[in-house]
């Protein structure tokens, strides 16, 4: 009887523990009791500059008080996160005191890798900037310094960081960091995570275009923007894509101009992170729509925008993030935690996807982004039509000039290898893309359909079934790490194809079009776009190329580009 009593007490105690764990408030990096099959990971990352020379009204105290407010609101909703310090802010006693007081189990302190005057001078070099912090690519970033100078700048930062906090930072992020610096930080100081800017064209003078869209990737040792295909050629530090891009609108925002606009989760933007309707739509798609591998987004803001500008967006986002965490719909983590998870989960860059099944408001737009270590592709549905809007190939042997050379311009560019570019190859009245057509009763028509349906038949693949209305049938699309396959299932026609159209006068990378491959060249690098099933041709109707099925199938090899 005594044994039964003990067992009964143990059971009651266990039930009590389980129940009360559900009532206790969540804080910081709460992980669901049972991790969802597709994690939705959120990092709140705020990075800190000491000064803002572009606006005299933004004083050092305004910048400091912005961070104080960020800390307050995160504590209010029991949210952990990552604060990244530029060197001049690192050396400021006020920031040191503020950030040291944060609990280590839920907050991370790391490095924001923009280079200010005190860091350069402490490394024994002459400052070339117009101000104590100068945002030009050849001044305020590691790209503006020789490899040996980069080592000195890194050593200065790491040494002083450890003196102040007692350890080396595990996360180092910036709009862009060259691969030489990343490799040095990894080898000597064992960083575990990095982050760079979302894809953008010309914004602030920085172009990062055609890369691994969102989530994270392992970079090539000779090109920090290019995903590596093989572990031996990668830097084993995952680079997360920042800012929470609008998966539909960011891509061609500002089409026809030299610089893109911004539609992101950043709380300062009136349309984007500062708009409640947009924020709720973004997170609903982020948590509820199909995703392969994992979904990722970065919330937070640099202090240069000031609290007055970001307060509304923060007040919209932070309680929502807290609720989604408490509902176990997201994992709220520091960047270091996400980096360690990624390295444990993936030995090479994984296949991932970000899908949108319902757009904001009355819009009928739908999209899917698919990434692997070999390529990225974007499909967009508008008014019932399908356009393959973007396809870029990845090559770990494609070097970045910034790996060993010094940037000489106030701007910088990072690219991958284009096959379809719906932004650069478009004009406002001539939108580039690969469009599905068919010959029906002798007439060429664009095929129209209903809503696409996304599924994941295997752990590394995405299947899209698109029911058609122009004819009875469906277009079946399969994406995996190395291939893109398409099949039209219909008894009404087998005379279907894709035409690649661009704006007139566009400089294209295509050199020759043959039956099974298109030979391309970009920035002096040759590569090929290959078909396993299907044929390429030049139709003579103004299209750059036509892609026709073979036996009603198209299979593209996106992993063998030489």
Phi, psi of 217 (to 5 degrees): -150, 160
Same domain, yes or no: 332 and 396: no
Q: How confident is the model at residue 18 (pLDDT cuts 50, 70, 90)?
A: very low
358 in a structural domain? no
Q: Is 191 helix (H, G, I), strand (E, B) or coil?
A: coil
Same domain, yes or no: 379 and 465: yes
Determine the angle formed by the axes of helices 276-288 and 307-326, rounding to 10 degrees: 30
How far is 551 from 543, CA to CA, in rounded Å? 23
pLDDT at 407 over 50: yes
Same domain, yes or no: 210 and 253: yes
Q: Give the chain's mean pLDDT.
A: 91
CATH of the domain at 324: 3.20.20.510
Report, in angstroms and rounded to the nearest whole number, the Rg of the chain calculated over CA atoms: 25
Q: Are strands 433-440 and 443-446 parallel, antiparallel or unpaired?
A: antiparallel
Same domain, yes or no: 372 and 323: no
pLDDT at 440 over 50: yes
359 in a structural domain? no
How far is 458 from 460, CA to CA, in rounded Å? 5
Identify the bridge partners of residue 82 per DSSP, sorted by sequence position.
Answer: 45, 108
Phi, psi of 318 (to 5 degrees): -65, -45
pLDDT of residue 257: 76
What's the pLDDT tens digit per position in 515-558? Answer: 999 999 999 999 999 999 999 999 988 899 999 999 899 999 99
How far is 407 from 400, CA to CA, in rounded Å? 11
Same domain, yes or no: 346 and 220: yes
Identify the bridge partners of residue 376 per DSSP, sorted by sequence position.
Answer: 371, 392
Q: Which range of residues forms the domain containing residue 404?
A: 366-557
pLDDT at 417 over 80: yes
Q: Are strands 417-421 and 412-415 parallel, antiparallel or unpaired?
A: unpaired
SS (H, E, C) 10-75: HHHHHHHHHHHHHHCCCCCCCCCCCCCCCCEEEEEEEEECCCCCCCCCCCHHHHHHHHHHHHHHHH
Same domain, yes or no: 37 and 154: yes
Hey, what's the torsion of the CAs at 146, 149, 153, 156, to 10 degrees? 170
pLDDT at 280 over 90: yes
As a whole number, mean pLDDT of residues 133-141 equals 92
Q: How many distinct structural domains can be found in the chain? A: 2
Structure tokens at 206: 């920085």
Chain center to CA of 6? 54
Q: How confident is the model at residue 134 (pLDDT cuts 50, 70, 90)?
A: very high
**Phi-psi category of 307—alpha, beta or left, where left has phi over 0 and alpha has psi -120 to 50?**
alpha
As a whole number, mean pLDDT of residues 82-99 equals 98
Same domain, yes or no: 456 and 550: yes
Q: How confident is the model at residue 459 (pLDDT cuts 50, 70, 90)?
A: confident
- Domain boundary among the residues 300, 328, 351 is at 351
Burial 14-29 (b: 16+ CB within 10 A, else e): eeeeeeeeeeeebbbb
pLDDT at 363 over 60: yes
pLDDT at 356 over 60: yes
pLDDT of residue 236: 97
5 in a structural domain? no
pLDDT of residue 490: 83
Q: What percent of the chain has pLDDT over 70?
A: 93
52 in a structural domain? yes
Same domain, yes or no: 338 and 393: no
pLDDT of residue 255: 85
541 in a structural domain? yes
């Amino acid at each position: 009887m005594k044994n039964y009593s003990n067992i009964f007490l143990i059971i009651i105690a266990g039930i009590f523990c389980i129940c009360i764990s559900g009532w206790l408030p969540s804080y910081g990096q709460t992980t669901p009791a049972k991790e969802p099959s597709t994690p939705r990971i959120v990092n709140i990352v705020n990075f800190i500059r000491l000064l803002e020379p572009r606006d005299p009204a933004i004083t050092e105290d305004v910048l400091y008080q912005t961070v104080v407010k960020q800390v307050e609101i995160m504590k209010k909703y029991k949210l952990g996160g990552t604060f990244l310090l530029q060197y001049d802010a690192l050396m400021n006693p006020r920031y040191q005191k503020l950030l040291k007081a944060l609990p280590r189990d839920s907050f991370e302190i790391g490095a924001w890798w923009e280079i200010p005057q005190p860091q350069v001078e402490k490394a024994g070099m002459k400052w070339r900037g117009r101000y104590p912090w100068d945002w030009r690519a050849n001044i305020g970033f590691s790209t503006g310094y020789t490899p040996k100078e980069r080592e000195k700048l890194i050593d200065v930062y790491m040494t002083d960081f450890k003196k102040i906090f007692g350890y080396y930072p595990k996360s180092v992020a910036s709009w862009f960091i060259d691969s030489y610096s990343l490799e040095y930080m990894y080898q000597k100081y064992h960083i575990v995570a990095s982050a760079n800017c979302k894809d953008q064209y010309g914004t602030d003078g920085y172009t990062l275009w055609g890369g691994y869209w969102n989530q994270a990737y392992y970079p090539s040792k000779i090109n920090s923007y290019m995903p590596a295909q093989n572990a031996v050629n990668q830097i084993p530090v995952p680079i997360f894509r920042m800012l929470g891009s609008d998966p539909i609108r960011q891509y061609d925002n500002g089409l026809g101009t030299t610089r893109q606009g911004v539609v992101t989760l950043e709380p300062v933007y009136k349309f984007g992170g500062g708009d409640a309707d947009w924020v709720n739509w973004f997170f609903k798609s982020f948590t509820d729509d199909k995703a392969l591998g994992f979904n990722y987004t970065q919330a937070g803001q640099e202090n240069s925008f000031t609290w007055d500008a970001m307060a509304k967006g923060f007040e919209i986002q932070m309680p929502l993030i807290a609720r989604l965490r408490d509902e176990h719909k997201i994992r709220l983590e520091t960047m270091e935690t996400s980096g360690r998870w990624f390295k444990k989960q993936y030995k090479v860059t994984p296949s991932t996807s970000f899908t949108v099944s319902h757009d904001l408001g009355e819009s009928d737009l739908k999209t899917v982004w698919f990434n692997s270590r070999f390529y990225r592709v974007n499909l967009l549905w508008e008014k019932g039509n399908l356009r393959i809007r973007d396809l870029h190939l990845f090559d770990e042997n494609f070097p970045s000039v910034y790996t060993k050379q010094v940037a000489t311009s106030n701007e910088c560019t990072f690219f991958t290898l284009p096959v379809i570019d719906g932004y650069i190859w478009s004009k406002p009245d001539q939108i580039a893309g690969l469009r599905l057509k068919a010959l029906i009763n002798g007439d060429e028509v664009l095929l129209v359909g209903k809503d696409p349906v996304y599924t994941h038949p295997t752990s590394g693949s995405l299947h899209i079934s698109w029911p058609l209305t122009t004819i009875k049938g469906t277009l079946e699309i399969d994406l995996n790490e190395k291939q893109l396959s398409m099949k039209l299932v219909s008894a009404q026609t087998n005379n279907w194809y894709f035409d690649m159209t661009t704006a007139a006068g566009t400089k294209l990378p295509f050199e020759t079009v043959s039956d099974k491959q298109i030979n391309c060249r970009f920035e002096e690098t040759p590569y090929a776009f290959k078909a396993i099933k299907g044929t390429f041709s030049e139709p003579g109707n103004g299209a750059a190329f036509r892609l026709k099925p073979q036996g009603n199938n198209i299979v593209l090899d996106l992993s063998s580009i030489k």
